Amino acid sequence: MESNGTAGNDGLEGDADLQFLLVGGELVKIRSSSWKKNRFFKLQEDCKTFWHESHKTFRRNQTFSIDDIDSVRRGRQSEGLNKHTEPTVEEKCFSIIFKGRKKNLDLMAASGGEAKQWVNGLEKIISNMRNLSPQQKSEHWIINCMRKADKNGDDKMTLKEVKHFLRQINVEVDDTYAEEIFKKSDKSNSGTLEGSEIKDFYNLLTHREEVDVIFAKYAKTEGQMSVRDLQTFLLNEQREPATIEDAQKLIEKYELDEKAKQNKRMSKDGFLMYLHQEDGSILNPAHKHVYQDMHQPLNHYYISSSHNTYLMEDQLKGPSSTEAYIKALMKSCRCVELDCWDGANGEPVIFHGHTLTSKVIFRDVIKAIKDYAFKTSEYPVILSLENHCTLDQQKLMAHHLISILGDALVTKPLGNKMPTNFPSPEELKGKFLIKGKRLNKLEAFFNNNNTVEEDTVSEDDEAADCKENGQKAKPKKSKIKLAKQLSDIVIYCKSVHFNGFEHAKENQEFYEMSSLKESKAFNLAETSATAFTHHNMDKLSRIYPAGTRTDSSNYNPVPMWNVGCQIVALNFQTACKEMDLNQGRFLPNGFCGYILKPEFQRNLSSQFDPNALTNGPWLKRKTFHVMVISAQQLPKINKDKHKSIVDPLVRVEIHGVPGDIDSQETRHIDNNGFNPMWNQRFEFEIHVPELVMVRFVVEDYDSTSQNDHIGQYCLPLTSVQNGYRHIPLLTKRGDVITSAGLFVHLMLIDAQ
């Protein structure tokens, strides 16, 4: 297995930065101002695992996988380094940010040059790992498991080691089957597998019967697919309007065998490659990039939005952090919330009022937002201010916003006359909008009566909720004084109290928006859905979770999107089904945080009501056929239970208007996470396809307790491709599980 020492690091052999990491070196690990200790770090030979010494008695050696790293940041860019080091060591510092909940690793090298080498080396390996093809990832994963199973490290595998290895990769095979593949592969009859025999073993093991069947049906040309064969497959099975040129391109793109490629043929390996890459994926490749019209008014889009963005965990005692803003923005969240209170030393702070959550300095949050807002998406970011500060600190807030965000902050209406509706995401690229209270109408900009210095305004709904704290008798609307400087930078998102749709229609300007608590919003969506949808055709609505959700759980965003609400704010820090739906909703259109609403939610003549499916352009009855065929390389859930192999089942969920809610699941398969086969068919009747989200969930069946979650994938029905498709699987936190996947056949057809 030596040849795979740098598996997947082709092009990096002999690279100076890579060699530097393989040798390793001392770094200072920083936990606090007083806890700074030297630790040795190095990259393991597999170029995939990092080792560092640990002084905890029970953990002499600690490792983490390159797969676990989310990103590497040069300089004092993490909260810890910012707090616990001096600006003078800026260039020696760097941080490793992990996926999920693992704490950042804050490190300091001996010199700026060394820090640069660590960061360059890490970034090269990470991007190399991410660019591997699924085939390579899968081999990589398997070879890695083999290395772990090769107990005595002699690069040979005995039958006993092979059985151990099969358990590692999540296959419970009976001894005779294991012996059978072992014997077939042990061509030299040496009693161990070595070199190419291991590769043969891998091939026998990963052989996919279900793909053989499909391939055989269309490979009509000497056991391979000609261009014409492939075109027939694309037309018949994949329901793609494919031309001969399209088929030819796929062969050039995916065929691995040079001879087949020259003959314009696709071999079975090439076909498998195609099924695993983006053309064979469930997500329409045309939707991976921004494909929607981005020139419509801002309120015509669903906008990915976060609630209490500063929290890393729960609402009562969790830590507040600039890190939480960075994580949300990197997930292309486009509306973040800032709860502002008076802080010590005259500097406003952000935290969850009246609770034990820790505080972060307002200025630091704005800096972090400025640095990370447009890394994943260039479309505008709305800063939703919940302001509890006194006048002096409000003036400082305005000062920080203006001085830190500079030209990127929208401080006056676009154009030189009073606007009558919103600018588009396209016009607002790279810009920040402030959502908050305003002392006067926007017209004041154009008619010079801008004289109000400061005045009282009623507190925003959510800010007032925060004070109520469950008292039954509603206190009078609390008033707060508002500084002119802060009021003046609220342009397109002025917060006003909601007094019903009729009142809003007559009195509310397009730029005046209300925030509604989930309970009130759900009630309105049930009782006056059409009015709610119409309200959202020219105004923005923001919905937020109830204050009683102290565990930061989330409500279901789908009913809110069904009535056209744009800013459906969720607790991004909480991994849950509701966040899966949110990630899925914003997955297409280049994952840019904006999705154009269906035409019937934008057109004023529309009488759409999600609860009563009357005839209209929204009603397009479809039948969605789903066949769950198989899964590949599902991860082990219980790493500790050495013997525990998963018993997987798949659930297909449909989320949409009330008439389009359904879910069906396969039987579970005992002891096979490696290549379980179900071949089960489901059928779903769909009425309003443009609002449907489809979610695939894989669980580990447990007869005695709740099933364990293995992975899931969610996307809008409008972005689903028909035919034989591969579905990647994501962890609870939304990261891709390398090499795991589902294989399905899908067909969305007009209902009879």
- Active site residue ranges: 307, 352
156 assigned to a ligand binding site: no
| Token output for 635 | 């991860």
372 assigned to a ligand binding site: no
Burial of 556 (0-12, 13-18, 19+ CB in 10 A): middle
52 assigned to a ligand binding site: yes
DSSP one-letter code for 622: E
Distance CA 460, CA 514 (A): 9
45 assigned to a ligand binding site: yes
29 assigned to a ligand binding site: yes
539 assigned to a ligand binding site: no
CB 360 within 8 A of CB 573: no
337 assigned to a ligand binding site: yes
Q: Which of 275, 231, 238 is nearest to 746 (CA)?
A: 238
437 assigned to a ligand binding site: yes
137 assigned to a ligand binding site: no
48 assigned to a ligand binding site: yes
43 assigned to a ligand binding site: yes
Q: Give the residue carrying structure tokens 């029905």.
A: 717
DSSP string, 461-507: HHHHHHHHTT-SSPPPPPEEEEEHHHHHT--SEEE-----HHHHHHH
435 assigned to a ligand binding site: yes
620 assigned to a ligand binding site: no
DSSP string, 19-83: HHHHH-EEEEEESSSS-EEEEEEEE-TTSSEEEEEEEETTEEEEEEEGGGEEEEEESS-SHHHHH
Distances 125 to 12, 68, 118, 581 between C-alpha atoms, Å: 8, 12, 11, 31
55 assigned to a ligand binding site: yes
CB 108 within 8 A of CB 93: yes
498 assigned to a ligand binding site: no
Q: Long-range CB contacts (< 8 A, 24+ apart) of 702-711?
A: 702/647, 707/649, 708/637, 708/638, 708/646, 710/634, 710/635, 710/637, 710/646, 710/648, 710/673, 711/634, 711/635, 711/737, 711/740
Which residues in 135-161 are b (16+ Cβ under 10 Å) and which e? Answer: bebbbbbbbbbbbebbeeeeebbbbeb
DSSP string, 174-221: -HHHHHHHHHHH-TT-SSSEETHHHHHHHHHHT--HHHHHHHHHH--B
647 assigned to a ligand binding site: yes
Radius of gyration in angstroms for the set of CA atoms belonging to the chain, rounded to a whole number:
28
35 assigned to a ligand binding site: yes
50 assigned to a ligand binding site: yes
Q: Give the residue carrying structure tokens 């759980």.
A: 553
| Token output for 201 | 């073993």
| Token output for 244 | 């001969």
The single-letter code of the amino acid at 640 is D
Distances 242 to 107, 142, 215, 274, 628 between C-alpha atoms, Å: 52, 35, 18, 15, 25
671 assigned to a ligand binding site: yes
515 assigned to a ligand binding site: yes
CB 549 within 8 A of CB 312: no
239 assigned to a ligand binding site: no
Q: CA torsion angle for 467, 472, 475, 478 (degrees, to 10)?
A: 30
524 assigned to a ligand binding site: no
Q: Which of 465, 373, 501 is nearest to 428 (CA)?
A: 373
Task: List alpha helices for 309-390, DSSP H.
Answer: 322-330, 362-372
392 assigned to a ligand binding site: no
221 assigned to a ligand binding site: no
Which element (helix H / strand E) includes 260? helix 258-262
704 assigned to a ligand binding site: no
687 assigned to a ligand binding site: no
561 assigned to a ligand binding site: no
30 assigned to a ligand binding site: yes
DSSP one-letter code for 223: T
386 assigned to a ligand binding site: yes
367 assigned to a ligand binding site: no
339 assigned to a ligand binding site: yes
424 assigned to a ligand binding site: no
Q: Which of 407, 412, 409 is nearest to 398 (CA)?
A: 409
523 assigned to a ligand binding site: no
702 assigned to a ligand binding site: yes
Q: Give the residue carrying structure tokens 């960075």.
A: 326
671: left (phi over 0), alpha (psi -120 to 50) or beta: left
Q: Which of 707, 715, 704 is nearest to 742 (CA)?
A: 715
Binding-site positions for Ca(2+) read 308, 337, 339, 386, 645, 647, 671, 700-702
Binding-site positions for substrate read 29-56, 435, 437, 515, 542
Binding-site positions read 29-56, 308, 337, 339, 386, 435, 437, 515, 542, 645, 647, 671, 700-702
